[in-house]
Structure 1
């Protein structure tokens, strides 16, 4: 089972969770909506629903980050929730 960390519900579709995802191509974390596939590079943009991008239109490799990776990138404060699959 994998553990996923997420911030809050998506401001765009209001249904999906914003899952913290690791962009391996650009070596960064971003918030990814599991429902509408929108993404944000930081929590303040997600909070204001601005500067979002449709992740399906961007070519990069991703993976589910570990809690350690989230902490190293100073994203611990937005890892508000988790679930396992």
Structure 2
């Protein structure tokens, strides 16, 4: 983007979202192996305002606004570590 003085600016959008993951009831019968949750390493228990005992994860995305290209995508369990994600977003923009 060019401003009035003729300077070139590159604009990036760093956006963080917090999303709940659905958990279905797992069947437990003697003829099946012990159930395992796929989202266990990706999500953490949290309260989203709707139902209790949900699991959530945060996702931070970096988008180059002029070309609409994704630069980076970071995910963390629970509320995430927003300062670490901002550092990673800055590093990915600089590269």
TM-score category by the smaller chain? under 0.3
Tell me which of the two structures has the higher relative contact order, counting C-alpha pairs closer than 8 angstroms and 6 or more residues apart. Answer: 1
Larger of the two Rg values belongs to structure? 2
- TM-score of the aligned structures, taking structure 1 as reference length: 0.26
- TM-score of the aligned structures, taking structure 2 as reference length: 0.25
Q: When you count helix as a share of all residues, which structure comes out higher?
A: 1
